[in-house]
């Protein structure tokens, strides 16, 4: 993907941050500034242009970020590309607060691990794959409730 070319970029207050797009630790003083009035409260917001990838990072005066940096760490040497792709998709969904999508990706990730990595039978239910991973000691056994 080519880097965007921004028009009428301004010099704004410099800020260091982890880019929510490329995950690089950067400092930027280029972008746009705005004030927002929400529920009769005046807030500030900045759209910083990442000097590494040239993509935008929205940061408001309350510290809200869109997108936020990727959650968790990259995992090296995942042998199955579909498993690696699902893990990275879950991280990207988390960075934009798409938590239902994160849960769905993680469920599918567990199913893919069972089938592709641990050679479970295809076409079964989610519960089947969780039980399979538990039987194979890939995930911890369920603890009995004390209630």
Q: Residue 77 CB: number of other CB atoms within 10 A?
A: 5
Instruction: Give the DSSP letter of residue 118.
Output: T
d(CA 7, CA 59): 19
- Residue identified by tokens 């242009």 is 49
d(CA 19, CA 56): 8
pLDDT in tens, 42-70: 899 999 999 999 999 999 998 899 899 88
- Give the 3-state secondary structure of residue 13: strand
Confidence of residue 145 (pLDDT cuts 50, 70, 90): low
Spacing of C-alpha 98 from chain mean position? 9
- pLDDT at residue 96, as a whole number: 86
DSSP code string of 32-71: EEEEEEETTEEEEEEEEEPTTT--EEEEETT--EESPPPS
Q: Which of 15, 100, 19 is nearest to 65 (CA)?
A: 19
Residue 38 has pLDDT above 90, yes or no: no
pLDDT in tens, 120-140: 999 999 999 999 999 999 998
């Amino acid at each position: 993907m080519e880097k965007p070319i921004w028009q009428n970029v301004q010099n704004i207050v410099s800020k260091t941050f982890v880019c929510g797009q490329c995950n690089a630790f950067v400092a930027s003083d280029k972008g746009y500034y705005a004030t927002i009035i929400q529920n009769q409260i005046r807030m500030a917001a900045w759209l910083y242009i990442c000097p590494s990838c040239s993509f935008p990072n929205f940061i408001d005066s309350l510290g809200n970020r869109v997108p936020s940096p990727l959650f968790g760490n990259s995992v090296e040497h995942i042998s199955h590309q579909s498993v690696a792709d699902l893990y990275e998709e879950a991280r990207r969904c988390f960075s934009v607060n798409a938590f239902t999508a994160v849960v769905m990706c993680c469920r599918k990730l567990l199913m893919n691990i069972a089938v592709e990595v641990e050679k479970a039978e295809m076409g079964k239910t989610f519960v089947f794959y969780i039980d399979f991973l538990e039987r194979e000691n890939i995930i911890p056994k369920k603890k009995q409730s004390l209630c």
